[in-house]
Amino acid sequence: MILKREFLIALALTSLASLSFTSPATAANLDDGYPQDSAAPGRTCPAATEGFKTVSEYSGKTLICTLINGEKKWWIEGDAIPAPAPTPASQSSQTNAPGSNATPEIQYTPKYKLPAKALATMKVFENIVYASESPSQRLDIYMPKGVSNPPLIVWTHGGGFVFGDEDFMKYDESAKMLEVFIKNGIAVASVNYRLAQEALFPAAARDTKSAIRYLRANASKYGYNPSKFATGGDSAGSYLALMAGITGNQSSLFDSPTDPNLKTSAAVSMVIDLFGNVDFFEMTANNAKYPCDQSKNPFPVAAGNIHPWFGDTTDPEVQANMKAGGLYPYLKKLKPLPAFFIFHGSDDCSVSPQDSKNLDKAVKALKGKSTLTIAQGAIHGGAGVWNAVMKAIPTMKKALVGSK
C-alpha cells in the first residue's frame, strides 16, 4: 500500500504502540555491554548496505552488515551465522507487534519532485560523510548559484525517528521550501541521521550536532558563511533542530565524544521549528490536556508504552533518558539566544500546538526573539504549515543575515 507522506509522519509520531523496530537496548544477549548508540552483533543495520564493515570501538572486532533471517544485522566477521528460528504459524500475522524484530516497511510515493529547472539554479554536493560511526551519517548541500558566502540552514527531516533520510529534501513540501530558500540566496544542508532501528536516544541528536560542527569546519570548502548558521526541521527533525539550537556550545549528552570536530562551535543564530517539541513529557501531557478534534484529523493518538526513539516508557532508565531529552534547562542557560521561528497547525493531533505556544512564551520570558505562526485548520505535516514557512522565508533571511 502506498501512503501519503503526511500520513506517514503522523503514523510515526502517534501510532507508537503499533510501530515495530529493533531496540538496541533490549536486543539479544549477543550485544550485551556494547554502548547503546553503536553497532553490535545482532543489532539491525537498516541504513547500511549488505557487506558494509565497521570496526567496533568497544570490542575491536570487525562487524559486517549481514542478511540474517531476512533482516540486515551487524555480525562479527568470520563468525557462523545463526540458524533461522522457528516461527509459529499463529504468530506470523504479528510481526508488527511492539518489540518484534521487524522494521517498519514504509513506502513513500511523492507527489512533487524537485524539477530540473530548480536544480539548475543550485550547486549540489551529495552523500557527504560527516562522521565515521555509521553509513547513515551523511548529508547533502544545496548551494544557490551566483551567491557568494550565503547563510546556511542545517535541516533535519521528520519521520518519528523511524523513517526518512536526507533525500526528503527533494520531494513534496520540503522540495518546494528548498526552492524558496535557494531563490532567496540561502544554502541548505539536508542531514541524514541514525534512525531508532539502528541506534536509540541520543544517537540522532549527536549526529545532528556532529553534522553542524562538520559543516562549520568545512565552510571554506563548500562556500557558505560559517557565522550565519540556522537549524531547521519538521516533526521529529524539528526536535533535533531545536536541540541543536538550544544546547549550542553547552556541554551535554548530545555531543559525541568521538566527534573529530568536537572543539568546533555548534552554535547557531536561528532555529526554524515546524510542529516540533522540546520536552517529551510535556508533549504527552499536552496531547491529553488539549485533545484534538478527531473529526478534522485522521491521525488519532494511540495508546501504548513504546516510544520508537527511547524504548519502553515504563522502564525507569527510559524515563530518565526522556527527562534528559528535555530542552528547557538548556534554554534557560543559553546566551545569546538564537531567533526562533515557530510554525504549527491548529488541528495537529500528533504534537499539540500548545507545545509551540509554551516554547514561544519561554523564549520571550528570557527576552529572546520568537515568532509563532499557528496555521489555522492545518494538521500535523499539513500544507498550511509549509505554506506559512515559505511565506516567511524572506523575513527569516533578514533575521539570519542580520544576526551577530
Please write the tens of the pLDDT for every residue from 320-337.
999 999 999 999 999 999
Measured in residues, the chain has a length of 404
- State how far the Cα of 159 lies from the Cα of 31, in Å rounded to an integer: 26
Residue, of 79 and 382, whose pLDDT is higher: 382
Pairing of strands 311-312, 306-307: antiparallel
Whether 393 and 186 have beta carbons less than 8 Å apart is answered as yes
Q: Whose grid coordinates read 536516544? A: 201
53: cell is 564493515
Range name among 49-63, 137-151, 283-297 with the lowest pLDDT average? 49-63
Q: What is the pTM of this model?
A: 0.76
pLDDT in tens, 219-268: 999 999 999 999 999 999 999 999 999 999 999 999 999 999 999 999 99
Backbone φ, ψ for residue 253 (5° rounding):
-70, -5
Ranges in the chain annotated CATH 3.40.50.1820: 116-401
- State how far the Cα of 69 lies from the Cα of 22, in Å rounded to an integer: 14
Q: Say what the pLDDT of residue 17 is.
A: 33
Strand ranges (E), 130-274: 138-144, 152-156, 187-191, 229-234, 270-274
pLDDT exceeds cutoff 70 at 106: no
Q: Say what the pLDDT of residue 29 is.
A: 38
Whether 28 and 104 have beta carbons less than 8 Å apart is answered as no
Looking at domain 116-401, which of 3.40.50.1820, 3.40.50.300, 3.60.70.12, 1.10.287.3510 is its CATH number? Answer: 3.40.50.1820
pLDDT exceeds cutoff 80 at 96: no
- State how far the Cα of 174 lies from the Cα of 75, in Å rounded to an integer: 36
Burial class of 33 by CB neighbour count within 10 A (0 to 12, 13 to 18, 19+): exposed
Range name among 12-26, 42-56, 335-349 with the lowest pLDDT average? 12-26
Residue, of 301 and 354, whose pLDDT is higher: 354
Residue, of 19 and 8, whose pLDDT is higher: 8
Q: Whose grid coordinates read 533542530? A: 241
Q: Which amino acid is it at 354?
A: Q
Long-range contacts formed by 105-109: CB under 8 A, 24+ apart: 106/3, 106/8, 106/11, 106/12, 106/162, 106/163, 107/1, 107/2, 107/3, 108/2, 108/3, 108/5, 108/8, 108/163, 109/2, 109/3, 109/4
- State how far the Cα of 4 lies from the Cα of 111, in Å rounded to an integer: 9
Q: Say what the pLDDT of residue 3 is.
A: 38
CB neighbourhood size of 333 (10 A): 11
Q: Say what the pLDDT of residue 88 is.
A: 34
pLDDT exceeds cutoff 90 at 95: no
Task: Tell me the C-alpha to C-alpha distance, in Å, between residue 139 and each of 172, 192, 295, 334, 371.
Answer: 19, 6, 39, 27, 28
